[in-house]
Amino acid sequence: MRRSAPNQHQQSLDEHIEWEWHFTQLTDFIRRHGHSDLGPHPVTDWLLRQRHAAHRNEISARHRRSLLDLGIDLSQPPPAAPDEPDDDEPPLQRAAKQFADLWELRYAGLCAYQAEHGHTNVTKAQNLTLSHWRSSQTQFRRKGTLSPERIARLDAIGFVWEAPGRGSMPRDQWHQHRWDVQFQHLTAFIDRFGHCHVPVVWEENRQLGEWVAEQRDQARHQRLPADRRQRLDILGFVWKPQRHLRLPPFRAERAPRRKSVALWETRFAEMCAYQAEYGHTNVTTDLSN
């Protein structure tokens, strides 16, 4: 019995992590979309299993209360459960296997992303599910619940555990710092182009485009803090831009060349000198006058 205790503890821990991960995914989806119809998503099968467990009174009071607080109806008989498990397989072992399979699926997705982009810093705008999974690995390692084998596999693909420049900065402070940086970039964009219509596909700064889209999405779902919305309103931020305004401010091939900008500055300096000497800017071609 003493030999099996560590294994049972690990299985119980894996089961707990699996439940919390799925619950976090479900919570985020409901906050974004206002319903729990996830469609073809791993959380769909998980939620169905929770309903079956609740119907059989095999769910803990804490889990039941958490699901009810999200608005999940546990009173109605659930539909047929997907892939009925083997009765001979212990529940903890089955849960651990499901969690391991899900981890492998997400790891494969992150490997594919790394192969395409050259890094593992997937954003929410690019892949919401994979971005959440990536963040959860950092949290699990910080809590000491991520195995050394998985840490090594993530290290092998260049996984960045701490955001560059964060150092010992607390998580909330770091997120605010990142927001402030993007806000400064948006201010510079407005100074340059005269408007705040940063397109998501703007090649010059895709991160800014994604950030602007995220602010609109958070405001639409009433998740944008009031102080942040106020700061954006002061800039003249447009929350519902017209479709044609989502295009880049100019095409990359038509951007002004450095030589043209330098020539303009030279001519402007000459105009200033002329105005200082003659008191006006009506330059004529007859310099003898």
Q: What is the pLDDT of residues 14-73, one digit of tens each?
A: 677 778 888 888 887 787 767 777 665 667 778 888 888 888 888 888 898 888 888 888
- pLDDT band, residue 282 (cuts 50/70/90): confident
User: Tens digit of pLDDT for each residue in 68-84?
Assistant: 888 888 877 666 554 54
Q: How far is CA 41 from the centre of its chain?
A: 18
pLDDT recorded at residue 100: 78
> Worst-scoring range by mean pLDDT, 10-24, 91-105, 166-180, 233-247?
91-105
Amino acid at 138: T
Amino acid at 272: C
Average pLDDT, the chain: 76
- pLDDT band, residue 271 (cuts 50/70/90): confident
pLDDT more than 90, % of the chain? 9
Instruction: Give Cα separations from 49 to 55, 63, 105, 106 (angstroms).
Output: 10, 12, 20, 21
pLDDT recorded at residue 255: 47
Residue 215's nearest CA partner among 188, 189, 180 is 180
Higher-pLDDT residue of 11, 63: 63
pLDDT recorded at residue 169: 67
- pLDDT band, residue 273 (cuts 50/70/90): confident
Sign of CA dihedral 246, 247, 248, 250: negative
User: Tens digit of pLDDT for each residue in 134-163?
Assistant: 888 888 888 888 888 999 999 998 888 876
Q: Residue with structure tokens 């608005």?
A: 71
pLDDT recorded at residue 3: 43
Sequence ranges of the domains in the chain: 4-156, 171-246, 257-289
Sign of CA dihedral 12, 132, 127, 169: negative
Higher-pLDDT residue of 170, 285: 170
Record the tokens describing residue 261, joined without a space.
């900008």
Q: Which of 7-21, 75-89, 154-168, 173-187 has the highest mean pLDDT?
A: 173-187
**Confidence check: pLDDT of 250 > 50:** no
Higher-pLDDT residue of 234, 18: 234
Q: Please give the biggest Cα pair distance in the chain.
A: 108
